[in-house]
Amino acid sequence: MSAPVQIILASNSPRRRELLALTGWRFIVSPADIDETPNLKEQPEQYVRRLAHGKATACTYSIKGVILAADTIVVDGNQILGKPVDRVDAERMLKQLRNRSHQVMTAVSLFNPATGKIAQEIYITNVPMRNYSDEEISAYVEGGDPLDKAGAYAIQHTGFHPVENFNGCFASVMGLPLCHVKRMAASFGLYSPDDLPERCMHLNNYDCPIFRHIESGAVIG
């Protein structure tokens, strides 16, 4: 494994920090501050791509290195579900998503300001929600976890465990698809350990059915 350049993570997400640490790369956190208001008639895929690109190019740091930026959105039909404004809004979102599938879109951008090299990919994952009860929703919302999550849920929450029969990239729904990042980063001189997929699966207690396809070049979430 070799990581000859510094990584600057343009995100303050604790989930992204936890996932990125699995690579063994040295990285610092420098969140990018951009306007995240959707443009008029902007489609979800266009929106998430624009935000990831904007975060990567807006992030500045005195140490030279490669900037890693990502943005994740929850999409129901063509509706983008952001972070709930309060507990009532969180309950509304969870009831809307209950017992049906929606999509999570994660766009990842890598940018080296020193060379101008930039790369971006987007991963779209189908997420089937289980038929949780109103009482389970209330207990989950009361605990406060949904309030800083797009769509008002965390796939990795073991108490609420909102998702069932999932067969996509778990880390992508969390906000940083590691196998995809590994593939992209190689062209920037960033090489991660061969067992990175196993590290991710161990962290999330999840047997990923698609990581070998991703390593072979498939653009799937």
Counting beta carbons within 10 angstroms of the beta carbon of residue 178, is it exposed (0 to 12), middle (13 to 18) or buried (19 or more)?
buried
Give every CB contact of residue 139 below 8 A, 6+ residues apart in sequence: 160
Question: How big is the chain by its Cα radius of gyration, in Å?
Answer: 17
**Single-letter amino acid code for the residue at 109:** S
Q: Catalytic one among 33, 71, 89, 148?
A: 71
Q: Does residue 71 carry a catalytic annotation?
A: yes
Specify whether the CB–CB gap between 164 and 129 falls below 8 A.
yes
Instruction: Specify the length of the chain in residues.
Output: 221
Q: Which 8-state DSSP code applies to residue 220?
A: -
Residue 188 in contact with residue 5, Cβ under 8 Å?
A: yes
* Number of other CB atoms surrounding residue 221 within 10 Å: 23
User: What residues have CB less than 8 Å from 43, skipping those under 6 apart?
Assistant: 78
Catalytic residues: 71
